[in-house]
């Protein structure tokens, strides 16, 4: 597959190009009318449930009324600066990257309509979620000095591969979705994570499985991505004796035949199966589990938490528990998002919107280069949609909450 980049275009044009390219239409947070792999109609959708703190305790969802507005005052002036987004816009897990992009698109649309003297463009760089492809496009990003802030990369593997390039160039890169905990242990000074990492998600997930779901035996299955391996490690460690080593398993990205793993799990009769990976493999995996007679509760993280999982797995996804260190879009924002993008917001859409808003606020304040953007983000302390954004010296958020979702 060749490398694809879309450069020098307003993000509105990018969305149109994606639609022409045949990217999947999808719904989320209350969407319906999915289609199962067997061709049967399904009305299943991913619905948000409880919100949990780091101890696994339920917390109330707050009604945010003071979230940062990308429109700002409407008096901003700027020229010669732009932003960029890097992530999977095509490929098996493209829906996750598109969710981020469309969130950014909404923030840019609001900003540019309100500020005629400050029209900010966002250039997009398609990595297909592949670390090797990401390293090929990274030099194109850093060589363009008009790009003073990057939204992305989207996945942990590609972030690990490109982080040194972005950091060395002094380019602030804000990820809406890369959650591997080790990313903030590389000494990078320009990296910021817009959601909780897998340490927070994994530990809360394990407590939820053994607490709320009362699972005595859990089979932990991981793919071979940096994300899948890291999240599975934390879940397994926190589960302790509940994690059954006899049915722990590793699968590969791109794998479609899970018969051996299904047989292994079926022989152990677990209460729950935890899958660490992305929806492209989670969908056929859960389908084969159900076809193989495994009735254990299927649980997975943010890499699976997309309507494409439900669309591809069909009725086999019914009852699945999905988690995310991200927040669902409130009704008003969801309506604006759908009106602009032609689909409901998905996982990471809010984070894409909020992180783009922060970078736009920097530009509106007079920031003209990467050093100024870095200083602005480092010192930022503000309310976003559903969460507060303030980072420690490693680029981690000062607070992290985990949202539980269920397919029904």
pLDDT per 10-residue tile (average), the chain, 408 residues = 35 36 33 36 83 80 83 96 98 94 98 98 97 98 98 97 98 96 96 94 93 96 95 96 98 97 98 97 98 98 94 97 92 96 94 98 98 98 91 90 93
| CA dist., res. 394 & res. 164, Å (int) | 15
* Residues, the chain: 408
The pLDDT assigned to 60 comes to 77
> Are residues 389 and 341 located together in one domain of the fold?
yes
> Are residues 188 and 84 located together in one domain of the fold?
yes
Detail the DSSP E strand segments found in 134-224: 147-151, 173-175, 191-193, 218-222
- What's the token pair of residue 17? 């190009």
Q: Strand, coil or helix: what is 1?
A: coil
The pLDDT assigned to 62 comes to 64
CB-CB neighbours of 328 under 10 Å: 25
Which has the closest alpha carbon to 215: 206, 227, 228? 206
Which has the closest alpha carbon to 160: 195, 193, 204, 125? 193
Q: What is the CATH number of the domain that holds 255?
A: 3.40.50.2300
> Are residues 218 and 145 located together in one domain of the fold?
no
> Are residues 75 and 215 located together in one domain of the fold?
no
Instruction: Encode 249-267: b = buried (16+ Cβ within 10 Å), e = exposed.
Output: bebebeeeebeebbebbbe
The pLDDT assigned to 7 comes to 34
The pLDDT assigned to 17 comes to 35
Which has the closest alpha carbon to 97: 140, 139, 151? 151
> Are residues 115 and 185 located together in one domain of the fold?
yes
Q: What is the pTM of this model?
A: 0.83
Q: What is the maximum alpha-carbon separation in the chain?
A: 65
Residue 52 lies in a domain: no
Q: Provide the residue range defining the domain that includes 285.
A: 199-324
> Are residues 313 and 367 located together in one domain of the fold?
no
> Are residues 318 and 232 located together in one domain of the fold?
yes
| CA dist., res. 309 & res. 404, Å (int) | 16
The pLDDT assigned to 63 comes to 67
* Ordered strands of the 218-222 beta sheet: 58-59, 46-52, 402-407, 321-324, 297-300, 272-276, 218-222, 249-250
> Are residues 253 and 238 located together in one domain of the fold?
yes
Q: How many domains are there within the chain?
A: 2
CB-CB neighbours of 104 under 10 Å: 30
In sequence order, which ranges of 21-146 are alpha helices (DSSP H)?
Answer: 94-114, 131-143
| CA dist., res. 221 & res. 265, Å (int) | 10
Between helices 349-364 and 94-114, what is the axis angle to 10°?
A: 40
User: Do residues 185 and 241 make contact, with C-beta atoms less than 8 angstroms apart?
Assistant: no
């Amino acid at each position: 597959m060749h490398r694809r980049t879309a450069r020098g275009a307003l993000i509105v044009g990018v969305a149109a190009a994606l639609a022409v390219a045949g990217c999947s239409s999808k719904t989320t947070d209350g969407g319906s009318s999915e289609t199962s792999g067997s061709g049967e109609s399904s009305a299943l959708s991913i619905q948000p449930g409880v919100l949990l703190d780091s101890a696994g305790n339920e917390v109330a969802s707050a009604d945010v009324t003071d979230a940062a507005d990308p429109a700002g005052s409407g008096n901003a002036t700027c020229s010669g600066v732009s932003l960029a987004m890097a992530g999977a816009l095509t490929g098996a897990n493209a829906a996750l990257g598109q969710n981020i992009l469309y969130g950014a698109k909404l923030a840019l649309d609001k900003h540019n309509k309100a500020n005629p003297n400050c029209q900010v463009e966002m250039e997009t760089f398609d990595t297909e979620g592949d670390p090797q492809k990401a390293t090929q496009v990274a030099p194109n990003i850093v060589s363009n000095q008009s790009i003073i802030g990057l939204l992305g990369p989207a996945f942990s593997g590609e972030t690990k591969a490109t982080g040194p390039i972005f950091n060395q160039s002094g380019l602030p890169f804000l990820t809406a979705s890369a959650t591997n905990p080790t990313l903030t242990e590389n000494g990078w000074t320009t990296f910021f994570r817009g959601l909780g990492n897998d340490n927070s998600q994994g530990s809360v997930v394990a407590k939820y499985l053994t607490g709320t779901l009362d699972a005595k035996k859990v089979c932990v299955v991981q793919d071979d991505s940096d994300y899948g391996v890291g999240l599975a490690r934390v879940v397994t460690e926190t589960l302790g004796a509940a994690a059954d080593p006899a049915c722990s398993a590793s699968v590969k990205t791109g794998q479609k035949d899970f018969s051996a793993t299904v047989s292994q799990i079926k022989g152990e009769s677990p209460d729950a199966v935890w899958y660490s990976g992305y929806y492209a493999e989670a969908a056929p995996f859960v389908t084969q589990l159900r076809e193989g007679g495994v009735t254990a509760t299927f649980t997975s993280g943010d890499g699976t938490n997309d309507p494409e999982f439900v669309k591809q797995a069909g009725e086999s996804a019914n009852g699945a528990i999905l988690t995310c260190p991200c927040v669902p879009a409130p009704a008003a924002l969801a309506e604006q998002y759908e009106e602009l993008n032609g689909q409901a917001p998905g996982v990471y859409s809010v984070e894409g919107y909020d992180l783009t808003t922060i970078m736009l606020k920097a530009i509106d304040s007079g920031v003209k280069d990467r050093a100024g953007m870095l200083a602005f983000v480092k010192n930022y302390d503000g309310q976003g949609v559903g969460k507060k954004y303030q980072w420690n010296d490693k680029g981690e958020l000062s607070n992290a909450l985990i949202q539980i979702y269920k397919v029904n």
